[in-house]
Amino acid sequence: MSTQLLLDGVNRSFDGFKAINDLSLAVEKGELRAIIGPNGAGKTTMMDIITGKTRPDTGRVMWNQSVDLTRTDEAGSARLGIGRKFQKPTVFETQTVEDNIALALKEDRSVWATLFHRRSAEDTRRIGELLELVKLSHVAGWMAGDLSHGQKQWLEIGMLLAQDPELLLVDEPAAGMTDAETMRTAELLRQIAGRHTVIVVEHDMDFVRALDCRVTVLHQGHVLAEGSLDHVSANEQVIEVYLGR
Ligand code: ADP
């Protein structure tokens, strides 16, 4: 495996407050990685830095060992193959589930051109494959607005995958989901890792356990511990941060 994303000594302050403090992190190509940490640990700021939404004050963020992401903006990181899923699902509510995926496949074309042009056999195959993957084939003709919260989250993941990102950043996907949806989401992310690198920020520990992956604990903008969930859960500093002991 090769390193896909490397944060090296990254710092970012807001009005003198160090949100990110000498943060170093390496994620391998195809890896599934969970990022956990208490509120204010710097998780969102870290994602903002990776996607070019926020620039670090100092430090390097290397992509595929060759591109410095600190010089990139959000559009640039998307072009490089970095997709981001925010916590709230954003789908086209008044379009069908299938058309949502079709629109994501054809980001460069207008909505009307996509909806009214005949689809190529290849597009039809790819849409079917993505709907199957996100378990929405049976509701392909539904309006996206009629889906459950969990289904909307999966649809948006399907839409992001339609653009075949190398890295997918996912922010608290399990928030607001039922237990069954949470487990299904963990299974989906495990399925797509390998082909895609996936970084997930999450609070729900049952979900993180189900991801069964390497976990990075952030605290005060710094990596406090890293390893399996069992390994980091046994770390004295992590226990102190989470339980206030
Ligand atoms: P998390 O996502 O882990 O909850 P954040 O990255 O949102 O943490 O925030 C880390 C710290 O940085 C917090 O104390 C937050 O208040 C501060 N922060 C984040 N963004 C800004 C900003 N744009 N302006 C001022 N402070 C910010």
CATH number, position 24 = 3.40.50.300
Indicate which residue's Cα is closest to atom 22 of ligand 1. Answer: 14
- Indicate the pLDDT class of residue 123, thresholds 50, 70 and 90: confident
Q: For residue range 155-178, what is the model confidence (pLDDT) as tens digits?
A: 999 999 999 999 999 999 999 999
Confidence of residue 120 (pLDDT cuts 50, 70, 90): confident
Instruction: Please report whether residue 197 resides in a domain.
Output: yes
Sheet holding 58-63, edge to edge: 17-28, 3-14, 58-63, 67-68
Q: Higher confidence at residue 105 or residue 46?
A: 46
Task: Tell whether ligand 1 has an atom less than 6 A from the beta carbon of residue 215.
Answer: no
Residue 121 located in a structural domain: no
Task: Supply the mean pLDDT for the chain.
Answer: 93
Calculate mean pLDDT across residues 200-204.
93
Q: Is residue 183 part of a domain?
A: no
Mean per-residue pLDDT for 137-159?
97
> Is residue 101 included in any domain, yes or no?
no
Residue 41 lies in a domain: yes
User: Looking at residues 204-233, what average pLDDT do you find?
Assistant: 96
Q: Whose alpha carbon is nearest atom 27 of ligand 1?
A: 14
Of all protein residues, whose CA lies closest to atom 13 belonging to ligand 1? Answer: 40
Q: Domain tally for the chain?
A: 1
Whether ligand 1 lies within 6 angstroms of the CB of 217 is answered as: no
Give the pLDDT confidence score for residue 203 in this predicted structure.
87
pTM of the full predicted structure?
0.94
Q: Are residues 11 and 57 in contact, defined by beta-carbon separation less than 8 angstroms?
A: yes
Residue 51 lies in a domain: yes
Asked if the structure places residue 164 within a domain, the reply is: no
Q: Is the CB of 42 under 6 A from ligand 1?
A: yes
Q: Residue 50's domain spans which residues?
A: 3-86+193-243
Q: What is the DSSP string of 45-107?
A: HHHHHHTTSS--SEEEEEETTTEEGGG--HHHHHHHTEEEE-SS----TTSBHHHHHHHHHTT
Position 121 scores a pLDDT of: 84
Provide the pLDDT confidence category of residue 213 given band limits of 50, 70 and 90.
very high
Please report whether residue 19 resides in a domain.
Answer: yes
41 lines ligand 1 (CB under 6 A): yes
Q: Read off the pLDDT of each residue in 73-81 and give the average, rounded to a whole number.
A: 94
Residue with tokens 């710092």: 11
Residue of 45, 224, 242 best suited for mutating to test ligand 1, as the one with most atoms within 8 Å of CB: 45
